[in-house]
């Protein structure tokens, strides 16, 4: 197999290359004043940026640079799902986001929307310019680049549609409003402001269909591995596409396909395997070597050099320490925080110097080498194992599926937790959902898991319980976008 990924990808990514559309401040649905006066490149024209194979490679790396957007998959969009779940306490830094009383003018909703669509713009812009210059590289190399762009676009849409729209099974036909599907990029500001680009929201089904299409096409082309440890975890691969498809089908309630794609990962010749201990997954020294990490957004202190966005700053006691672990999480069934390896080795706490009492618990998943360089976890093998376990459990309505129980206990045994033996399908599903909370906490699954399984989010502190299908469990669309685009509908009650 032709290896099209270069070993020095890590150096190029962290240099934040300014090619292509890096100067654009808008997408087809996100614009600012005088955008028609701006030119969508800063150092090289598109023709120059795509004039040699090496420059095209650097432009491709720019898509991953966009994926690091500090307001979106640099970590923030994962935080939003978690602080609206029940495993962390209300984080005052994020204003009304964790208390479910946001306004349509909310700055976090605005920034996440623009960050997500900026990332999509970059992938579309790259694909459009590559199309104009395909002859510069071989057809196989071009196909690989298109596949990477589709993976990035699908991944970004997954978080956009689940943040700004009701979960897939909210409506039997998934016909509820989703988010705008933008599949091409404007070449300049004037084109971006063309009325034809004021597009309406696509249905949630249409967004999911597009994600599945993008990932299926990408998986057919992406390599199993690239020959470089860094790229195998920080750049799109076949395993990453299959793992994201497994998650998407789980959200749809398509249990068979969720199982099938989970199997594609578990049986991959890549040889994914769980780390020896839960803590090993989160050691910065293992970011490039852990066979449990399928895909992460690679970060460095140069990518995120401030205290307001990095996961380690918000989650870590050594940083801002805005997000603390809730008692609800600490008291989950089947979770002994004194013996389970997902507790003590991965927790830290602050001590009241007067009384000696433990006053707050923090996760240590995002310490990295500092508080700002932790890789953002997107897909890892433990999640894929639990996806298959849940799919099997739901497919077998007659009893507690024995294979699902084995998979559940595979995760628990790694953590030195007691083996479980649920006797009914309902008990098994409950065990698996609890295990997902224990294992995947603080990785962006919090609120999403409640909503996709039609479970109301319990009350906490001064926050009322939220029904899974309530109006306020999703973000408002930025009001400025609704006002600029007459075809854009706002979410109810905003």
Residue showing tokens 């669509």? 117
Q: Which residues contact residue 355 at a Cβ distance below 8 angstroms, ignoring those fewer than 6 apart?
A: none
pLDDT recorded at residue 176: 98
Q: Are 23 and 45 a contacting pair, CB within 8 Å?
A: no
What is the phi/psi pair of residue 448, to 5°?
A: -55, -40
Residue showing tokens 């970011």? 287
Q: What is the DSSP letter of 203?
A: B
The Cα–Cα gap between 10 and 374 comes to: 14
Q: Are 417 and 334 a contacting pair, CB within 8 Å?
A: yes
Token pair for residue 341? 């390896």
Q: 3-state class of 378 per DSSP? A: strand
- Report the sign of the C-alpha dihedral through residues 42, 47, 51, 57, in that order: positive
Q: Residue 460 pairs with which residues in a beta bridge?
A: 463
Token pair for residue 434? 């609890």
3-state helix, strand, coil in the chain (%, to 5): 45, 5, 45
Distances (CA, A) of 316 to 74, 100, 313, 359: 16, 24, 5, 14
The Cα–Cα gap between 44 and 178 comes to: 35
What predicted TM-score, i.e. pTM, was given to this entire model? 0.92
The Cα–Cα gap between 308 and 303 comes to: 13
The Cα–Cα gap between 125 and 127 comes to: 5
Token pair for residue 373? 């360089």
pLDDT recorded at residue 356: 54
- Report the sign of the C-alpha dihedral through residues 447, 455, 161, 254, in that order: positive
- Report the sign of the C-alpha dihedral through residues 392, 397, 400, 402, in that order: negative
Q: Around Cβ 198, how many Cβ atoms within 10 Å?
A: 16
Residue showing tokens 């852990």? 290
Q: Which residues contact residue 254 at a Cβ distance below 8 angstroms, ignoring those fewer than 6 apart?
A: none
What is the phi/psi pair of residue 89, to 5°?
A: -80, 165
Query: Residue 215: exposed, middle, or buried by beta-carbon count in 10 A (0-12, 13-18, 19+)?
Result: buried
Residue among 173, 174, 182 at smallest CA distance from 201: 182
Q: Around Cβ 42, how many Cβ atoms within 10 Å?
A: 12
Q: Around Cβ 183, how many Cβ atoms within 10 Å?
A: 12
pLDDT recorded at residue 263: 98
pLDDT recorded at residue 28: 41
Ranges of residues in the chain with a pLDDT under 50 are 1-38, 40-41, 353
Q: 3-state class of 397 per DSSP? A: coil
Residue 61 CA neighbour count, 13 Å, CB half: 25
Residue among 151, 162, 161 at smallest CA distance from 215: 151
Q: Pairing state of beta strands 376-380 and 358-363?
A: unpaired
pLDDT recorded at residue 305: 65
- Sorted by where each begins, the domain ranges of the chain are 9-303+378-482
pLDDT recorded at residue 345: 84
Q: Are 237 and 295 a contacting pair, CB within 8 Å?
A: yes
What CATH number matches the domain at 9-303+378-482, 1.10.287.130, 1.25.40.390, 1.20.58.340, 3.30.460.20? 1.25.40.390
């Amino acid at each position: 197999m032709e290896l099209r990924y270069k070993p020095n990808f890590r150096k190029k990514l962290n240099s934040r290359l300014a090619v292509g559309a890096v100067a654009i401040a808008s997408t087809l649905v996100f614009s600012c004043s005088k955008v028609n006066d701006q030119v969508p490149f800063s150092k090289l024209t598109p023709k120059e940026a795509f004039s040699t194979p090496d420059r095209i490679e650097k432009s491709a790396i720019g898509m991953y640079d966009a994926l690091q957007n500090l307001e979106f998959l640099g970590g923030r969009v994962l935080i939003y799902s978690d602080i609206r779940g029940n495993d962390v306490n209300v984080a005052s830094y994020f204003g009304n986001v964790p208390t479910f009383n946001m306004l349509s003018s909310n700055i976090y909703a605005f920034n996440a929307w623009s960050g997500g669509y900026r990332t999509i713009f970059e992938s579309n812009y790259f694909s459009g310019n590559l199309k104009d210059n395909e002859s510069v590289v071989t057809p196989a190399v071009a196909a690989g680049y298109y596949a990477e762009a589709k993976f990035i676009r699908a991944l970004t849409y997954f978080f956009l549609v689940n943040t700004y729209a009701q979960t897939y099974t909210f409506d039997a036909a998934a016909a509820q409003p989703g988010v705008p599907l933008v599949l091409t990029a404007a070449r300049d500001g004037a084109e971006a402001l063309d009325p034809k680009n004021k597009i309406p929201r696509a249905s949630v089904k249409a967004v999911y269909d597009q994600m599945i299409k993008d990932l299926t096409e990408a998986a057919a082309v992406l390599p199993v591995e690239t020959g470089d440890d860094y790229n195998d975890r920080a750049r799109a691969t076949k395993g990453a596409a299959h793992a994201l498809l497994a998650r998407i089908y789980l959200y749809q309630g398509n249990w068979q396909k969720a199982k099938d794609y989970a199997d594609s990962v578990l049986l991959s010749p890549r040889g994914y395997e769980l780390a020896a201990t839960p803590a090993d997954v989160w050691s910065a020294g293992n970011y490039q070597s852990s066979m449990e990490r399928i895909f992460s957004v690679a970060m460095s202190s140069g990518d995120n050099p401030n205290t307001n966005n990095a996961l380690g700053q918000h989650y870590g006691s050594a940083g801002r320490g805005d997000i603390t672990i809730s008692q609800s999480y600490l008291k989950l069934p089947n979770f002994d925080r004194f013996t389970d390896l997902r507790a003590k080795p991965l927790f830290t706490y602050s001590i009241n110097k007067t009384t000696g009492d433990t006053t707050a618990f923090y996760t240590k998943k995002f310490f990295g080498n500092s508080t700002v360089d932790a890789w953002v976890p997107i897909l890892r093998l433990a999640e894929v194992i639990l996806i298959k376990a849940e799919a099997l459990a739901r497919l077998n309505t007659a009893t507690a599926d024995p294979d699902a129980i084995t998979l559940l206990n595979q995760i628990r045994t790694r953590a030195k937790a007691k083996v479980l033996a649920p006797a009914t399908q309902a008990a098994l599903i409950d065990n698996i959902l609890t295990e997902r909370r224990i294992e995947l906490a603080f990785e962006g699954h919090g609120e999403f898991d409640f909503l996709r399984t039609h479970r109301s989010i319990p009350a906490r502190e001064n926050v009322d319980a939220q029904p899974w299908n309530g109006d306020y469990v999703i973000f408002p669309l930025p009001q400025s976008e609704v006002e600029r685009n007459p075809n854009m509908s706002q979410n109810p009650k905003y």
